[in-house]
Structure 1
Amino acid sequence: MSQLEDRFGRRFHYLRLSVTDVCNFKCGYCLPDGYQSSGKPSFLTLNEISHLVDAFAQVGTKKIRITGGEPSLRRDFTDIIRLVADNEKIQTVATTTNGDRLAKRAKAWHEAGLRKINVSVDSLDPRLFYQITGENKFYQVMKGIDAALEAGFDRVKVNAVLLKGINDRALPQFLNWIKKLPIDLRFIELMETGLGRDYFKQYHVAGREIKSWLQQQDWQLDPIHVDDGPAQNFSHPDYLGRIGLIMPYEKNFCVSCNRLRVSAKGKLHLCLFTENGIDLRDLLTSNSQQEALITRLHEQLETKKQTHFLHQGVTGVTQHLASIGG
């Protein structure tokens, strides 16, 4: 079965699979008013997820990141991890979490086959953490990171969205934290979404400014790895931890795109922005539909654009990142 490839020669071996758009945090850059239900949710079932994973595995997917919303809010989250990990063609099972349930579940998730974990921590100051997330759970999340390291995760990635005047001045504090910890700290440049234009204008920090500051502190750009995607990664001889920068407004950001997204309701998103998604759910009920599903994936990749056009001020139709897993 031929690997997924678009018109620009980019190959896609990485799937970000959302299993819910529900989240129990209220981060200002994502869900400032908290999750707003629009009736009884109808998220992908375990059976549908199984058919989806099988199809993507057949066309070259090697890594699947289970996302949300907050994916651990699903009662069958551990079962989803095990289902993905049991597929012999999937080499890496990852997740991104707000860390609320990590302290209690890290060991079980690792035993189920989870091997990579990203935890969102936008501040190391408990008061700022509460200001950004709307939840007074800083210490709970930090316990979760410790539990993940103890459970056998060799490294933990920590995501921080930098916000002007809120946490952008705390870079030295972040760096001091990872000096003796095997943590990959990723600073994510704030992206404008359909609901966040005013927020973006007020709090956006250019990623190139952070890159320049790191280089002044003798952080060195690492060689590019096939799994890096658009991230620029940095190391320092005096630090056990590492730094990654996600800079969507950087020139050529999309050149190394290697990921596709499927929403919690079964829509394929070729990009985090720009389009409404292509429904796959009608082809997720039985194994007999696998060939048709794979054909649809190949056909839709022919329509993938070369770039997201964020640098031109085009934010697309994405209202908030929780809806398709960020």
Structure 2
Amino acid sequence: LRRAALERFRLEEQHRREQERRIELERERLEEERRRREEEESRAAARNRERQARMARIQALVGRFEETLKRMDREISDSFTILDEASGRLARAGERAADEIAERRRSVATALDDSMTLTGELGELAKGLSRLAADHNRSDEAVQEALEQVDQAVEAVRRFVEVAAEIDAMTGLINEIAERTNLLALNATIEAARAGEAGRGFAVVAGEVKSLAAQTARATAEIEQRVAALRASSGAAETAVQKVGSAIDEMGALFQRTLEDLSNRGRMSTEAAARLERLVERMRESLTLVEQLAEVVDGMQASGDEIVAAIRKVGREHGRLKEEVAELLADAEAIA
């Protein structure tokens, strides 16, 4: 009985301890569930706070992004306006530049034609001056030859004057001889008259001699007159020839100066033609440069048109991007 009571007591005690143990386990389970529930609620609250903070940051970021996009949109719109105006000015400037270059090209072409014509005229003028200088040179040679002939004529006149002087001296001697002969004939006539009949023949001879002396004297006088007239004419001729020589000398000097002037003018015309030819070459180069510049301006106009088209395309793309960003912001606000 005692053992049964002890066994019952042991069993009851064991049952009690098992009950307590089950109660303790249940209490621990409930405590663990409570702790897990509190931790879950704490984590959920933390997640909620984190989500709310994240949404607040997203909303703030979306707001800043929206403001930034609005500011960028205004700046881009202003930039597009400025670019559009600039492209318009560029197009107008290109058109004006093209018109001015075309005008310059026409002006340069006209000036080139005029310069080429003037070059030809200067070349012809230089050739004409060269021919005139050559003719003038031949005229100068003719003048020099005339001067030589005049000098020869002056020398001949001088020799003639000298010969006339010699003739004058000889006529003087002949006249003196005639006078002496006449005197001798007179003496012979006187002596023949004294001789009478015997000197009659001698008287006839003396008369003939006297007559011959008289004729010689008259001829000598006439020769002297003619020689005097010839000497006067020779002096006048010498003076005239000397004047002609002086005039020809002056003419030769004038021809020489004219020849030098023509040579200088011909050289100047040749040099001017050469300079004008170089100028024509430079004008050709300038015309080539103007044409190249016109091609560059045409390329600039084409590039300007491409830039304008690209700007307008970017403007359209910006409009579509603006719409997509607006939709994105709306979706972000809806998600927030």
User: If the length of structure 2 is used for normalisation, what is the TM-score?
Assistant: 0.15
Larger RCO (CA under 8 A, 6+ residues apart): 2
Structure with greater helix percent: 2
User: If the length of structure 1 is used for normalisation, what is the TM-score?
Assistant: 0.15
Structure with greater strand percent: 1
